[in-house]
Amino acid sequence: MSFKDLFIEHDVPPEVQEWIKGEIEAQEERYTKIEKEMVDLAATREKWYQEFFDRITTIGYNTDGDDKMLIDPADLPVKPADSVDQVVWKYGVDGE
């Protein structure tokens, strides 16, 4: 058995299959809700990122006790133009 081969052949009773189906549906509902909240938070999250970058370039961050290190603005990461924050959710082994 390889590391990715996690499926073990077994019989699943119908009531267990129904329970699994219900759990998957509930998880998909939660995922959809979380994904919508993440999309709604996008503008606020961009503000948080900018506030964090402003803090570490002006105030710095603690390295040891009261010692602080400033980050040069040129060293800050640049977000790719087509990049979006997303919720990653995976169940099962389909598509691997």
pLDDT tens digit string along 15-68?
Answer: 999 999 999 999 889 888 988 998 899 899 999 999 999 999 999 989 888 899
> pTM to 2 decimals?
0.61
The more confidently predicted of residues 64 and 7 is 64
What range defines the domain where residue 30 resides?
A: 14-75
Residue 9 domain flag: no
Q: Is position 85 within any domain?
A: no
Q: Is residue 62 part of a domain?
A: yes
Residues 6+ away with beta carbon under 8 Å from 69:
60, 61, 63
Q: How far apart are CA 38 and CA 44, in angstroms?
A: 10
* 96 within a domain of the structure (yes/no): no
80 inside domain: no
Domain count, the chain: 1
